[in-house]
Chain A
Amino acid sequence: MTRLQLAQFSNQAIMFAAIVYALAMLAHIVEWAATRSTAPGRILVGPDGAELPSAGSDLGGAERPYRVDLWGRYGIALTMVGLLLNAAGVLARGLAADRVPWGNMYEFTITGCVATVLTYLIMLRFQPIRWLGLPVTALVVVLLMLAVLLLDVPAAPLVPALHSYWLYIHVTAAMLATGSFTVGALASVLFLVRNRAERRGTAGTGISARLPEADVIDTFAYRVHAFGFPVWTFAALIAGPIWARYAWGRYWGWDPKEVWAFVTWVAYAAYLHARATAGWRGKGAAILALVGFAALLYNFVGINLWGGGLHSYAGK
């Protein structure tokens, strides 16, 4: 294929990825809708007076009706197809431009979606986290649409400052960490929802009925963040500075991008500490994780678009 064909193929793959993710999202919506909520205190009693397991509740549960489970499986299968298309789009983009597809915001966004979905699917392999299916697919659908509508630029070679193998190392690690922080942020939001419902005694209704217990979500969120944090440390505080030293003559110079990478790092470090500090555990820690994610997002969107500084080529 020629460059132009590759670039067109990439655009189409991304479009189809968004459509398939949207279908996956629909499947998960059906799954959520079919999961009946159970009000607390309402116990199902069989004819012999024995308690029956409550039908529904908690998408991770094993004793769910077959059809509800089936919709969830459709959702996951579609998510996998979406991921393949998404990854093919990223790959074709790189081939079209004859370089790594990490030169501008559009490319960062589509690669970030791959990282997020990949993190979710890998974690799903080991843990019953299907309750994340709907939030993850909904998020990537929105992100891909934003990328295509607002950020798309033609594929082009890189400016000389980016001619370095540290581009691969630094950006890959940053992307990987971003993927797990995104999944972690979704989990932290859901934790806050469920935690609040549990405190108010309304955990059996609404969204929180579809979620596992707050402790389970919290543990999951911690694991994703505990994976993302060392990777981010490597990306932002090791690989980044090494490259900066060669490209700009100093390993750390408080460029706006560096400032916000550091703020992100501090927020997540505080999150990991807060989980072990009395008074911060639970809600406080989850909020810190979201602060970290907000800093990460600001660094990506705000600094690229309005910040200027040495990383400005990452913008549109």
Chain B
Amino acid sequence: MTDLAEAPLDSRPPEPEQTPRALSPVELARWAWRQLTSMRTALMLLMLLGLAVIPGSMVPQTRVDPNAVANWQLLHPDLTPLFKRIGLFQVYGTPWFSAVYILLMVSLIGCILPRTRVYWRAALAAPPKAPKNLARLPASLTSTLDVEAADLASRARAQLIRQRFRTRVEEDSDGTIVVSAQRGYLREAGNLIFHISVALVLVAFAVGNLFGFRGGAIVVDGQTFTNDVQSYDDFAPGTLFRDSQLEPFSFTLKDFSVKFLTSGPAMGQASSFTGNLAYKADPKASERDATIQVNHPLAIGNTNVFLIGNGYAPVVTVRGGDGEVVYSGPTVFLPENASYASVGVIKAPDAKPTQLGFEGEFLPTYATGQDGQPVSAFPDLAAPALSLTAYSGDLGLGSGVPQSVYSLNKSKLTPFTDASGKPVTLTIGLGQTKKLPNGAGSITFDSVKRYARLQISSTPGEPLALGSVILGLLGLVGSLYIRPRRIWLRIRRTSTGSQVELAGLDRREGRDLNHDLTKFLDTLTKATR
């Protein structure tokens, strides 16, 4: 096992020499078990785990950022199949990662158990007997005192007990008294607690991943979210999570506000996001109000609602060539940069004579960039405008293949063009209506709403993980700073009093043992005068 300090003083007897012959399955299993639970293997597995997590920071991860994964795959079409096969887009769920993780855990448990038994016995045992020759120990002193041996022994013992040593006093056949003392038993306890905690943290982490879920949802100002799987934009349940376990709450985003800095070097940076919610813990419960902010999630039962992002949803109305309203409502646009220039699409499949699609940007503060392209000058709504390219034709929704609401399938769409044949870009200010060429219809930019991007998740095992990791830290501190020490006194009777031999042994190098022994002897001498 992973001993943060060193092997116990009383080291195990050496393993008998292995004779080179075939091993029976039982022997092989035993050999494998012993290898797996050896400290060297545990150390190797720990380092292997350290290496195994690295690819996940180099290659985008599906669970961390699915969009980044998609982009990466577009840029590296040749590497993608290989990376997919070895699971590099979800490193932390691959069999090889789990293998290292589980082996380390087994290795840990495999050495915690025997070590606990050994420790249990050692913790109950009296201090070890004195070595024959105390002068051979790293630190030793001798002195002659004119105090009777038995008296000296009892004083020495009292002094050791005051210094929190566990003691034992024995008298040899020749009348020599030996005081053995040891302290620092808790070091190994700390060490064991630390390693048990590491195993518990691994368990808690696994529980959270197996029985929890994590989902993302975008909720526009004024909309109501009901907690069922269909309401989520993305939903990642743990392997053992059942959809029926979702708690039946619902909430309405009554108001979502964002404040931006309007001056200073970081002008345009957001200074606060606040969402006001009204929620019901279940359909029959009464409605309650709550606010949600970054760093301040809302807990409903065992589920937590976190605010992790926000953006704009322009409200648009699309009319077909016959003047019929074919699309109306807030449309979520995804922010692209810090000034909230956002991209999105609008699909109007019911438009006549042809289906209509729009793709482009929403700019909260419309301005023209140096290259003549529209940009957003500020993230707040100073001069909101839509800059869209309009298409007509077949949106491809009837094919049965699910489509992203954030992209247009343009294979059967053609852009509206101007007289010179260039695609028309419609710039629509707030409240404006723009007509499409050839009487194909019109689009109106009615208003803007904000939306909150929420993460809704439940992670069982959180208290266990936190408790274990705190316990582990306490154990670690104990195992690093508690300094086991052994001290022996051999007291011989002489004609004038007694001769004392004092020696000590530290489990840690580099302590001032000599100094401490001298001090101990001084105190003892003074006390006997």
Contacts and interface: CB of A to CB of B under 8 A. Distances in A.
Interface stretch (A82-90, A184-192, A204-212, A249-257): A249-257
Given A155-B265, A254-B63, A160 B54 contact: no
Contacts of B510: 219, 223
A146 interface: no
A161 interface: yes
Contacts of B404: none
Given A276-B5, A277-B39, A229 B53 contact: no
A53 to B, nearest CB: 21
Interface string A253-272: 11110011011001101101
A256 B261 CA distance: 29
B92 interface: yes
Contacts of A255: 64
A263 B50 contact: yes
A248 to B, nearest CB: 6
Interface string B351-383: 000000000000000000000000000000000
Contacts of A157: 261, 264, 266, 269, 271
Nearest to B42: A273
A315 to B, nearest CB: 13
A60 interface: no
Contacts of B455: 248-249
B43 A250 contact: no
A241 B61 CA distance: 19
B184 interface: no
B476 A270 contact: no
A246 B473 contact: no
Given A160-B271, A248-B455, A270-B50, A254 B64 contact: yes
Interface stretch (B14-22, B416-424, B461-469): B461-469
Contact of A249 (B3, B40, B269, B304): B304
Contacts of B457: 249-250
Given A156-B264, A254-B92, A276 B53 contact: no
B61 A273 contact: no
Contacts of A316: none
Given A254-B61, A259-B53, A276 B6 contact: yes
Nearest to A222: B510
Contacts of B459: 250-251
A156 B466 CA distance: 34
Given A160-B294, A260-B57, A303-B57, A276 B269 contact: no
Given A259-B56, A276-B3, A161 B295 contact: yes
A247 interface: yes
A238 interface: yes
A154 interface: yes
A305 B47 CA distance: 26
A245 B47 CA distance: 27
A33 to B, nearest CB: 30
A224 B271 CA distance: 39
Contact of A229 (B42, B214, B480, B509): B480
B272 interface: yes
A307 interface: yes
A274 interface: yes
Contacts of B242: none
Given A155-B265, A156-B269, A309-B64, A161 B92 contact: no
Contact of A276 (B4, B47, B297, B306): B4
A226 B510 CA distance: 14
B466 A242 contact: yes
Interface in A215-235: 215, 219, 223, 226, 229-230, 233-234
A270 B43 contact: yes
B499 to A, nearest CB: 34
Nearest to A238: B469
Interface string A85-126: 000000000000000000000000000000000000000000
A234 B472 CA distance: 10
A254 B56 contact: yes
B323 to A, nearest CB: 45
B481 to A, nearest CB: 8
Given A247-B294, A266-B49, A156 B266 contact: yes
B469 A273 contact: no
Contacts of B46: 266, 269-270, 273
B434 interface: no
A167 to B, nearest CB: 10
B465 A251 contact: yes
A263 B6 contact: no
A156 B7 CA distance: 53
Contacts of A308: 68
Nearest to B270: A160
A246 B5 CA distance: 36
A255 B308 CA distance: 15
7 contacts: A156-B266, A157-B269, A247-B306, A249-B457, A253-B63, A253-B64, A269-B2
Interface of B: 2-7, 39-40, 42-43, 46-47, 49-50, 53-54, 56-57, 61, 63-65, 68, 91-92, 205, 214, 261, 264-266, 269-273, 293-297, 304, 306, 308, 455, 457, 459, 462, 465-466, 469-470, 472-473, 476-477, 480-481, 509-510
Given A226-B480, A309-B64, 6 more contacts: A160-B270, A237-B469, A246-B306, A249-B308, A254-B64, A256-B57
- What are the 6 A-B residue pairs with the smallest beta carbon separation, nearest first? A266-B50, A156-B266, A249-B306, A154-B265, A256-B57, A259-B57
